[in-house]
Amino acid sequence: MITGLHHISLKCGTPEEFEKAKAFYLNILGFKTVREWPEGIMIDFGNGKLEIFSNGSGIKTKGALRHIAFATDNVDEMAEKVKKAGYDVFIEPNDIVIKSEPEFHARMAFCFGPLGEEIEFFQER
């Protein structure tokens, strides 16, 4: 019955946060707008969508969602793009091996997004 991921939703507490989030996902990461409405925007990231609302309020908590991982063919370039835009890359690009059967090789990096969300750039090797 489930056919895949449709979207991930983010809420912004201020108009400034909303504009900053839009600029990050559209201009820095290069995602495309699917649709906009007075309180939000839906953005296509390739195999799913990101929904960003401008009408959030309340205290932000981390909760159970740990991070958003975006597949990329160049982790290093993505990390450099977000650094140049002033965002914190708190785990620099590095190669990892997940000790599974069979072993899984990847390259990854983590940054904080405009709303404090943790974003992983992930490249299978």
Same domain (yes/no): 70, 103:
yes
pLDDT at res. 58 = 63
Domain around 95? 66-125
CATH number at residue 48: 3.10.180.10
Hey, is 89 helix, strand or coil?
strand
Task: Based on the fold, state whether residues 53 and 91 are members of the same structural domain.
Answer: no
Residues 17 and 42 both lie in one domain = yes
CB atoms within 10 A of CB 44: 14
72 and 118 housed in the same domain: yes
The whole-number pLDDT of residue 71 equals 95
Distances in whole angstroms, Cα of residue 116 to Cα of each of 42, 71, 125 = 19, 20, 28
Per-residue pLDDT tens for 81-119? 999 999 999 999 999 999 999 999 999 999 999 999 999
Closest CA to 115 of 37, 8, 32: 8
Backbone angles phi, psi at 84, to 5 degrees: -60, -30
Q: What is the pTM of this model?
A: 0.88
**Number of independent structural domains in the chain:** 2
Q: Same domain, yes or no, for 18 and 40?
A: yes
> For residue 56, what pLDDT is reported?
77
Nearest-angstrom CA–CA distance, 106 and 108 = 7
